[in-house]
Amino acid sequence: MLGAPHIVRPAARDAAAALRAAVAQARAVLLTGPIAPDGDSIGACLALAAGLRALGPARIDVAGSVSYRYAWMPGAQGMLPDDQIAADYDLVVVLDGDARRLEPPIAAAFQAAPKRAIVDHHRSTQVQGYDIALVDASASSTCDLVYELLLAWGHPLDRATAQLIYAGIVFDTGGFRHSNTTPQTHLLAARLVAQGIDHAAISTRILFDRSQAGVRLLAAVLAGAEYRVDGRLAIGQASFELGSSLGAGPGDIEGIVDHLVYTSGVELACLLIEQQPGSVKLSLRSRSVVDVAALARSLSPGGGGHARAAGATIEGTVPQVLAQVLPALELAVR
């Protein structure tokens, strides 16, 4: 089966042709993932950037900065921090979530760009406002879609590309455990592993690597976990003071909410972390029933994600935001 060629979906073929034409006309192209980039969005941005660079002379920039967990990814060191992003791109490509097109200074670059594209697998993503859209919620990761764009362009599947795509798939499937994992996911992963990548090292770095400050933050959140509605709802929280006293950074939050949702009997987990004073990042996970993407959207206009993993950012302190969202959380598991 591995010998059979990977089938590129028609939408990816169309998007590949449209992107190729747009890049041929462009002087400079900006790629951006979500506000807090993860393994899938970084892998997708960096792999697509390599593919676009091979198409022609346009300058290809990738916006954002990565935490220690992703610093090893090929090309990550060349990413541009947001404060270096000007509003002078001919094409802006948004990957793995569209909320960031609303965030300054990306919003200015997005508004000023004569052409806009999106490559994404979130059900909540709106394609209005984009000239080129490859959005397919059946894809396990945005990296799956980027792989098909690269195939359509005849881009060689080198080791660096295989590492990036594999990292995205491993992140978004939780190491092939989540319900978005399909036979196609495993077939694609097999092709990538066949390139000789160190898949064990990638999985460990992407899913489990945690700084010492991050381990202490995890311990503090778990020690303070609360269970409600007969143990079906788990709530974890951390104030800005707690995070900063431990020296925890943005990369240290990832994965904590999973420990809550895997408590026996829990269907829905909510982690509230005050990332900036007065601004709380809400992470939601469900095991099998609750659609947390819809729940996140109902809690905040910028909220969204996938059916089993979603998030939102809400202004306020942790106690204020918890009081605001708790009735909806409890109702979801009653």
> Alpha-carbon distance 202 to 197, whole Å?
8
For the CB of residue 230, give the shortest distance to Mn ion in the complex, in Å: 32
Q: Which is nearer to Mn ion, 124 or 161 (CB)?
A: 124
Q: Which is nearer to Mn ion, 26 or 202 (CB)?
A: 202
For the CB of residue 318, give the shortest distance to Mn ion in the complex, in Å: 27
Contacts of 307 (CB under 8 A, 6+ apart): 123, 179, 286, 291, 292, 293
Q: Which is nearer to Mn ion, 41 or 313 (CB)?
A: 41
Q: Are 162 and 197 in contact (CB under 8 A)?
A: yes
For the CB of residue 93, give the shortest distance to Mn ion in the complex, in Å: 15
Would you tell me which residues interact with Mn ion (CB under 5 A)? 40, 96, 142, 172
> Alpha-carbon distance 268 to 3, whole Å?
41
For the CB of residue 12, give the shortest distance to Mn ion in the complex, in Å: 16
Q: Which is nearer to Mn ion, 180 or 237 (CB)?
A: 180
Q: Which is nearer to Mn ion, 97 or 236 (CB)?
A: 97
For the CB of residue 40, give the shortest distance to Mn ion in the complex, in Å: 4
Q: Which is nearer to Mn ion, 37 or 243 (CB)?
A: 37
Q: Which is nearer to Mn ion, 173 or 237 (CB)?
A: 173
Q: Which is nearer to Mn ion, 90 or 96 (CB)?
A: 96
For the CB of residue 222, give the shortest distance to Mn ion in the complex, in Å: 26
> 119 phi and psi, to 5 degrees?
-125, 115
End-to-end CA distance of the chain: 45
Q: Which is nearer to Mn ion, 146 or 242 (CB)?
A: 146
For the CB of residue 172, give the shortest distance to Mn ion in the complex, in Å: 5
* Beta-bridge partner residues of 271: 236, 283
For the CB of residue 322, give the shortest distance to Mn ion in the complex, in Å: 27
What residue is closest to Mn ion based on CB? 40
For the CB of residue 171, give the shortest distance to Mn ion in the complex, in Å: 7
> 316-328: b or e for each residue (b if 16 or more CB lie within 10 Å)?
bbbeebbeebeee
